Structure 1
Amino acid sequence: MQSMGLLQPSSARSWLGSQCSSSNLIVKKTIRVDIPVDKYPTYNFVGRLLGPRGNSLKRVEASTECRILIRGRGSIKDPAQEEMMRGKPGYEHLNESLHILVEAELPVEIVDARLMQVREILEDLLKPVDESQDFFNKQQLRELALLNGTLREEGSHMSGSGSPFRNSLGMKRAKTRG
């Protein structure tokens, strides 16, 4: 039976993997991507990266299996809190310019490709786009409206309660005398 032969290498690999030190197979690498706040001081890069409730960043993390951290001056939403945290252990990054750290702990064969993939995605998101041409931002705003329950589709009619002359099927009622 040929399917047995196909299963052997993976079972042999898992046996070998359990015998070898995992540090030979899984590596942890970190890259830094600078955010161009000096060129575009008024552009909301952090909001663009995070998206509604952090969902945009979470999707990039899930699709690439990498951890993405926004660090540096401006990485904490509340400036007063950021100032309070500056200089404390674990917050040394607040003395640096705004940047992104990408951490990957993946098999050695794919770690570099994944980091390169994340870098390309982030660099694309870090290119300021005119608001009228920003499809990504429009999608984020639509998602936020959906999450908040305020989404109104273009071209859709108001609910039946909006007009006394429409029933639940959207048809006009017959006129009656009276």
Structure 2
Amino acid sequence: MQISGLMQSSSAQNWLSSQGSSSGLIVKRTIRVDIPVEKYPNFNFVGRLLGPRGNSLKRVEASTECRVLIRGRGSIKDPAREEMMRGKPGYEHLNEPLHILVEAELPVEIVDARLMQAREILEDLLKPVDESHDFYKKQQLRELALLNGTLREEGSPMSGSVSPFHNSLGMKRAKTRG
């Protein structure tokens, strides 16, 4: 077992050195992005950031290799639970305004670029958009419907029609005696 561990670490070192530009120095950095809750009190920033089942946030993390944490007042879904946790160790952030922490533990050569990439994506998501023009939210709702198994494609027999006389296959319902 130990031999394979050594082989893996040496192959990882070879891979890093074959990249040419990497010094192998890994650093951890954190940036803070404020959420404009005071300016837009009725906008659901947390929902927009998380997306269906947290998938939108997971995609930001995967594409930037950064960890994204929503912190501050309003970061816990249940207000009663948030109030209960306020002041407890590890929950000091609940006394601060809603914000995002972006953490990266990456090679020193790319860490700042990845953090800036994450900041740009997040700042773009934090710009309130009128719902009728919000392509991102439409994509999130489409994804949620897909996850829930309720997605109806444009042009399907049920899209735009709420007739009780057709089922999802477009067939007429059986007549019942009444």
What TM bracket, shorter-length normalisation? 0.7 to 0.9
Matched residue, 2:99: 99
Distance 1:16 1:149 in 2: 43
Structure 1 unaligned residues grouped into runs of 5+: 1-10, 18-22, 165-178
Q: Following TM superposition, by how much is the alpha carbon of 1:161 offset from its aligned partner in structure 2, in angstroms?
A: 6.0
Question: What letter matches 1:162 in structure 2?
Answer: M
5 Å matches for 1:1-178? Answer: 14=14, 25-158=25-158, 159-160=168-169, 162-163=171-172
- Judged with a 3 Å threshold, the aligned counterparts in structure 2 of structure 1 residues 48 and 16 are, in CA distance, closer, same or farther, namely closer
Q: Following TM superposition, by how much is the alpha carbon of 1:163 offset from its aligned partner in structure 2, in angstroms?
A: 2.7
Are the equivalent residues in 1 in contact too, given 2:16–2:24 (CA < 8 A)? no
Distance 1:24 1:110 in 2: 11
> TM-score, normalising length from structure 1?
0.79
Percent identity, aligned pairs only, is 86
Question: What letter matches 1:134 in structure 2?
Answer: D
Question: What letter matches 1:62 in structure 2?
Answer: A
Question: What letter matches 2:58 in structure 1?
Answer: K
SS of equivalent to 2:28: strand
Q: Following TM superposition, by how much is the alpha carbon of 1:155 offset from its aligned partner in structure 2, in angstroms?
A: 1.0
Q: How many correspondences in the alignment? A: 151
- Judged with a 3 Å threshold, the aligned counterparts in structure 2 of structure 1 residues 82 and 154 are, in CA distance, closer, same or farther, namely same
Structure 2 unaligned residues grouped into runs of 5+: 1-10, 18-22, 159-167, 174-178
- Judged with a 3 Å threshold, the aligned counterparts in structure 2 of structure 1 residues 28 and 153 are, in CA distance, closer, same or farther, namely same
Matched residue, 1:6: none
SS of equivalent to 1:153: coil
Distance 1:65 1:121 in 2: 13
Question: What letter matches 2:74 in structure 1?
Answer: G
Distance 2:103 2:141 in 1: 28
Q: Which has the larger radius of gyration?
A: 1
